[in-house]
Structure 1
Amino acid sequence: MLPTPLRLPWRPGDDPVPLRECEWLVTNGLGGFASGTVLGVPTRRFHGIFVPNLTEPKGRHVVLPRLDELVETLIGTKNLGGAEFVDGSIQGDAHHHLREFRLEGSTPVWVFDVEGSLIEKSIVMPHGLNTVCVRWRLLEGPSRRLRLRPFVCGRRQDAPLVPHEAGACQIEPDAQGALRLRLAAHGVSLRLHLLPQGAFTSEPHVDRDVLFRMERERGYDHSAHMHSPGFWSVELHPGGGAALVVSSGEAAQAPDPDALFQAEHDRITALLTRAHDVGADADDVERRLLLAADLFIVMPGNRSHETAAERSGGGDDFRSVIAGYHWFNDWGRDTMIALEGLTLCTGRFDEARAILRTFAGYIRDGLLPNLFPEGGREALYHTVDATFWYFHALGRYVARTGDAALAAELYPVLQGVIEHHVRGTRFGIGVDARDGLVHAAAEGLQLTWMDAKAGDWVVTPRRGKPVEIQALWYNALRLMAGWGRTLGAADAARHDALADRVQASFEARFWSAERGYLFDVVDGPDSANAGDDARLRPNQIFSLSLTHPVLHRSHWLDVLATVERHLLTPVGLRTLAPFEPGYQPRYEGALRERDGAYHQGTVWPWLIGHFIDAWIRVHGCDARARALLQAVPHHLLETGFGSISEVFNAEPPHREGGCIAQAWSVAELLRAWQATRPEKEPHG
């Protein structure tokens, strides 16, 4: 059962600014996407009707950044698209004619009233294809002529904006009545098919000094020229419509737009049907989060051996997770944290297994990749926690599915991970033989999830022994001991013994009786404080939230109460307590200012999942646990319409920031929403 359509609160005559600030997003399961503002005016360099993830040239490319939709009337032409310019002028009439914007399932739908003609527009990306389809239907009123002017670009999405004019754009018709468009300078080729076939007029046009407002606000280059090769004209008749299908690949036959929309409807209906624990008792918020989770699971396929496997028929075994839209690619840490919510809470067990196997193939020197940069470069490994989150993800997978065979298959790989850490591996990561705790320190690198870096400035270096690393390390050892006993492995007792030592050392080193909570880092380079960092951060919550809590039971309530009192907000946990030096109440400004606030107070919604785990462990699943999530339904109507943002300001009104759709934000809020269902409350 699909959720009730999510509608943006809007009435004709309202302030159009919310339409410019609200963004929609659809994806294709390959890392590509289409996204823009409800207003139709692009505000980010990443916005585009078509941003495919290509294998050649590699990476995501903004190839169709804008589509102007010009409706002819007796009193003039109305542009339902448009742009904003550096001089402050704005081109576009959408806000005058918009009557409704909604999400039907995952499909964005606009309804415009243009001089008595009710026109519906919707967008879909067929799953597994580098294709987008935009459809217009005349619901009622007189016929209208629609002119569609595409603006084209070949820029990879992470490349700088180039203000000067683009290179040559070659256009030629193909045998099926579509247009083949080639941007030779970028090596990008598009196929554009308008149905019913309309006349294309070659009329090159340049909009100069187009402003990308959000890029200016974020301190990046923020203007460029936009280039259009011409336009189509098509007549919209009552009960009829038109559709534009754009693809980066070859098409065997003319596309059927209605079939593309129906296939997507059937796919997401099947996803909801397959999702375990989703039935008559699942509410609209849960169903909406289940659909939001679908945006992030991808077949990567643009890394060399994955592409080769896909071409040989083995590509179904590769899966990954896009960490956030628009600019993140797949990150090891984010993937493993998000895996439970994105796959296990949605019944997508085969994809969970594929993700775990995919990343196991990338482990090097006992480390999981931190990230795969855009394009075809090698993975980067500068992370201490991603590898331990892998154990956590596998543990949750085995517990949910009973698939002990995967644990057995991966056990030798995980043995190697443990041994590399005991001996010591890259970036100063290794086990301290004196206490069994894991240390990590590499000058100029950020190794934990608090990874902000601006130039040479590592904002939160956390060198030494961070608290959550010990919690994850202990959890990994206990999981390994359990799997080892099941398999009859000789090293199971050794893992248990090392875990016992870690737990004793953790109690001795991290608990501060004076403060009543845990140190954030011990044995760091700050000699003034004996190397211990007592700043109050949320990382200590993992000491009692994981499957095997390292924290002694006697301290659970104190840690939970302290985090609740100083760090909990309606949208997540602050990354630094307000009374600590360096606390930043707002996440805003240019890159250096934002990075300086990223983990210095800024709220991260993904942390609420582990806070609720800790809450349930201490208090049980009562009504108060669900009350902690009451901001979720409202946020689904904000910036990333139907999804959850990356971060929020630390102080009310907690304005959202960062990515408009973040994998671990969605995953952990979905997981927490399911965990706090009212029927899960204990019965008296």
Structure 2
Amino acid sequence: MDRLDFCLSVEGADGLDDREWMIANGLAGYASGRLDGSAARRHDGLLVAALPVSGRTILLDRIEETVIPAAGASAFALFDALVEVRLERGMPVWRFVRDGIELERRIVMPWRQNTTLLSYRLLSGGPDIGLEIRPWMHFRGNDGPADQPLYPPVLSWHQGGRIEVTQGAFPPLRLAVRAAAMSLVLGEERTEAAFYPIEAERDYTARGPVWNPGRFMLRLGDGGAELIASAEPWPAALAQTALDALAAENGRRDRLIAHAVPAVRDAVGQRLVLAADAFLFEPRGRFDLAARALAQGDDVRSVIAGYPWFNDWGRDTMIALEGLTLVTGRPDEARRILRTFAAYERDGLIPNNIPDGGTEGVYHAADASLWFFHALDRYLAATGDSETLALILPVLRRIMAAHRAGTRFGIGVDPADGLLRQGAEGYMLTWMDSATPRRGKAVEINALWYNALFVMSGWLAAEGDETGAAQIREEAARVRESFNRRFWNPETGFLFDLIDGEDGDDPACRCNQILALSLPHPVLESERWASVLSVVERRLLTPFGLRSLDPAAPDYRSSYAGDLHTRDFAYHRGTVWAWLIGPFVDAWLKVHPGDRAGARRVLSGLVGHLDEFCVGTIAEVFDGDSPHRPRGCPAQAWSVAEMLRAWANSAP
């Protein structure tokens, strides 16, 4: 790939019905759909606003556009004339040609506004071309069912080319048009037949209701036309034209690329830098946290784990932090994220997730707190920010103390060997948290525990607490000895996935063992690195990441498809996870120092994937078997972050 942008010429529907687009607004709001102009998922919409109380809400679901030529020619649906789709700096552009008329349509979301602007530019065809726009809407949470009852919205106000639509407690949806000439034809319509084809594939309800208040009739002059959809007050909604907003957003994206580390300023790296930006957001509804941050001269920041349905997850955030913020040259964002999550610590735990629109965390994760140590270590290595370390150190002490003494969900150190165990009835506490029970001592949890002890001893020593540092060094040495004695399986030449589990020790060949050598401070003895890497490469490596289970295992599932129960069972039983490409490259470079070309070859599949599925970003998971169809969340933070980090680390 030698270009930053994506372009697809259209022949019929080829290449459109399996590709999607998505842009975000820095608040966790977004706009998304298929390249063919349709809404493919119940989560899709042209304005999915991030609202302080209700969370992400689909306000504008879709629009119908009809081109009305000069007198004597037949009107046609705009997307029936589609000939080309481009993504320029990650933002979609559609080109349409029919009967001598050529039109271009662009979409942009102004940064940190719940606003979407669509612009229409007449490239050829004369000045008397008309455009009819019918806006269809359904005020519902973005993860709500497609057939959620639609209580009729109310057209509460209209004047000229502007209208306000309200429903219940939701803020008004404000719609406006700008054109050479326009009129508004009122007349409510409702249909129960809005169709979301990907929901049918996933065995969810795929049809539901949408409503529209009427239609805008526009004349496309030399200046084109635009549609504004916004949840902001009118002055903010109308502050910029679509062209002004597009110029501002292009400038912002150019600056993002310029700030990234030099190793990712090639075409692939630039696309990944822009993809990473979508996941960093300012959570506007967490007022108490924002007030505390403001008092410290800071702001609240977090990471959306994936679009369109995930919110901010502690584990995902800490894994993704280095790629999303440090490789991209945004250490201030990293600092804000770390301080934000530190403020959520309870009983020695960093939250597993923070519900959409919520202010309190959910804490059922054994590894989020350990990944927090890793993320802070990467941040401090990049910045040397002793002030942030001093601020967070009391939180780190509480986490360490709670893990020694034992905390929620059976998370705590086993005094017999110093290893960390976890497990509580009804909870799955590792990252394999869907229908894969792993109560006991998990291999990656203890690799992370050792890594956390190692970095904590250094931080305490730097703060002058040599007694505390010495105690933790002793703990770390004991963990390392126990780990290498207990997790190594001499019969297989790789590591047990779990020891002291409900069914004893688990010899399954899983991806988790790669963390025992990939982390900055590996717990696994170096003479065993090559053996583990070789097994993982032969049995688990694919062009898109690592399988979660060896295909030879009886429980292996080759495809992540079907209904929810079937998908949950397959989620960690063979499904490929893209984020694990980062740890694999780290391990590769430890076993093969200097072989960056070999590491770069491992990434070639994900480079090609940037032109597939949700174009310009990376999916959550892929099928275990070839051709490894992308599945799950179409835009996943840790997938992008770890690919970006691996791309930087493998640069020539």
TM-score by length of 1: 0.91
Partner of 2:639: 665
Partner of 1:512: 489
* Residue 527 (structure 2) aligned to one of 550, 554, 558: 554
Aligned amino acid, residue 314 of structure 2: G
Query: Is the Cα contact below 8 Å between 2:10 and 2:85 reproduced in 1?
Result: no
Partner of 1:85: none
Query: Is the Cα contact below 8 Å between 1:149 and 1:228 reproduced in 2?
Result: yes
How far off is 1:296 after superposition? Answer: 0.2
1:78 aligned to 2:55? no
How far off is 1:377 after superposition? Answer: 5.9
* Residue 446 (structure 2) aligned to one of 453, 470, 478: 470
* Residue 98 (structure 1) aligned to one of 75, 82, 90: 82
* Residue 59 (structure 1) aligned to one of 55, 58, 67: 55
Closer/same/farther in 2, CA of residues 3 and 11 from structure 1, 3 Å limit: closer
Query: Is the Cα contact below 8 Å between 2:263 and 2:648 reproduced in 1?
Result: no
How far off is 1:371 after superposition? Answer: 0.7
Partner of 1:446: 428
* Residue 627 (structure 2) aligned to one of 650, 653, 656: 653
Map 1:123-272 to 2 at 5 A: 123-143=107-127, 144-162=129-147, 165-173=150-158, 178-183=162-167, 185-196=168-179, 198-237=182-221, 239-252=222-235, 254-255=238-239, 256-272=241-257
1:396 aligned to 2:378? yes
Aligned amino acid, residue 479 of structure 1: V
- Helix, strand or coil for the counterpart of 1:172? strand
- Helix, strand or coil for the counterpart of 2:219? strand
- Helix, strand or coil for the counterpart of 1:61? strand
1:481 aligned to 2:463? no
1:277 aligned to 2:262? yes
- Helix, strand or coil for the counterpart of 1:71? strand
CA distance in 2, matches of 1:201, 1:69: 14
CA distance in 1, matches of 2:550, 2:541: 10
Map 1:314-393 to 2 at 5 A: 317-376=299-358, 378-393=360-375
Query: Is the Cα contact below 8 Å between 2:186 and 2:214 reproduced in 1?
Result: yes
Residues 111-155 of structure 1: CA deviation (Å, up to 9, x unaligned): 111322111111111111111111111112234200111011111
How far off is 1:76 after superposition? Answer: 2.6
CA distance in 2, matches of 1:642, 1:313: 38
TM-score by length of 2: 0.96
How far off is 1:305 after superposition? Answer: 1.6
CA distance in 1, matches of 2:600, 2:532: 20
1:4 aligned to 2:4? yes
How far off is 1:404 after superposition? Answer: 2.6
Count of residue correspondences: 643
CA distance in 1, matches of 2:381, 2:505: 36
Bigger mean CA deviation after superposition, 197-206 or 564-573: 197-206
Aligned amino acid, residue 275 of structure 2: A
Bigger mean CA deviation after superposition, 207-216 or 614-623: 207-216
CA distance in 2, matches of 1:165, 1:348: 42
Aligned amino acid, residue 31 of structure 1: A
Map 1:622-641 to 2 at 5 A: 622=595, 623-641=597-615
Query: Is the Cα contact below 8 Å between 1:154 and 1:188 reproduced in 2?
Result: no
Closer/same/farther in 2, CA of residues 194 and 597 from structure 1, 3 Å limit: same
- Helix, strand or coil for the counterpart of 1:123? strand
Closer/same/farther in 2, CA of residues 580 and 416 from structure 1, 3 Å limit: same
CA distance in 2, matches of 1:283, 1:267: 18
Query: Is the Cα contact below 8 Å between 2:109 and 2:116 reproduced in 1?
Result: yes
- Helix, strand or coil for the counterpart of 1:532? strand
How far off is 1:192 after superposition? Answer: 1.2
Bigger mean CA deviation after superposition, 402-411 or 28-37: 402-411
CA distance in 2, matches of 1:313, 1:244: 39
Query: Is the Cα contact below 8 Å between 1:306 and 1:315 reproduced in 2?
Result: no
How far off is 1:172 after superposition? Answer: 1.2
How far off is 1:659 after superposition? Answer: 0.7
Q: Where do 5+ consecutive residues of structure 2 fail to align?
A: none
Residues 9-42 of structure 1: CA deviation (Å, up to 9, x unaligned): x3334xx153122111010000100001111121
* Residue 411 (structure 1) aligned to one of 393, 398, 407: 393
1:41 aligned to 2:38? yes
Query: Is the Cα contact below 8 Å between 2:559 and 2:624 reproduced in 1?
Result: yes
RMSD: 1.8
1:110 aligned to 2:94? yes
Residues 382-426 of structure 1: CA deviation (Å, up to 9, x unaligned): 000011000000001111112232222211110110000000000
Map 1:509-548 to 2 at 5 A: 509-526=486-503, 531-548=504-521
Closer/same/farther in 2, CA of residues 259 and 179 from structure 1, 3 Å limit: same
How far off is 1:270 after superposition? Answer: 1.1
Aligned amino acid, residue 5 of structure 1: D
CA distance in 2, matches of 1:391, 1:404: 15
Query: Is the Cα contact below 8 Å between 2:351 and 2:364 reproduced in 1?
Result: yes
- Helix, strand or coil for the counterpart of 1:366? coil
CA distance in 1, matches of 2:594, 2:547: 23
How far off is 1:3 after superposition? Answer: 5.7
Bigger mean CA deviation after superposition, 465-474 or 19-28: 19-28
Query: Is the Cα contact below 8 Å between 1:334 and 1:663 reproduced in 2?
Result: yes
CA distance in 2, matches of 1:48, 1:313: 36
CA distance in 2, matches of 1:668, 1:187: 37
| Deviation beyond 4 Å, 4+ runs, structure 1 | 307-310, 312-316
Closer/same/farther in 2, CA of residues 315 and 70 from structure 1, 3 Å limit: farther
Closer/same/farther in 2, CA of residues 449 and 19 from structure 1, 3 Å limit: same
How far off is 1:470 after superposition? Answer: 0.4
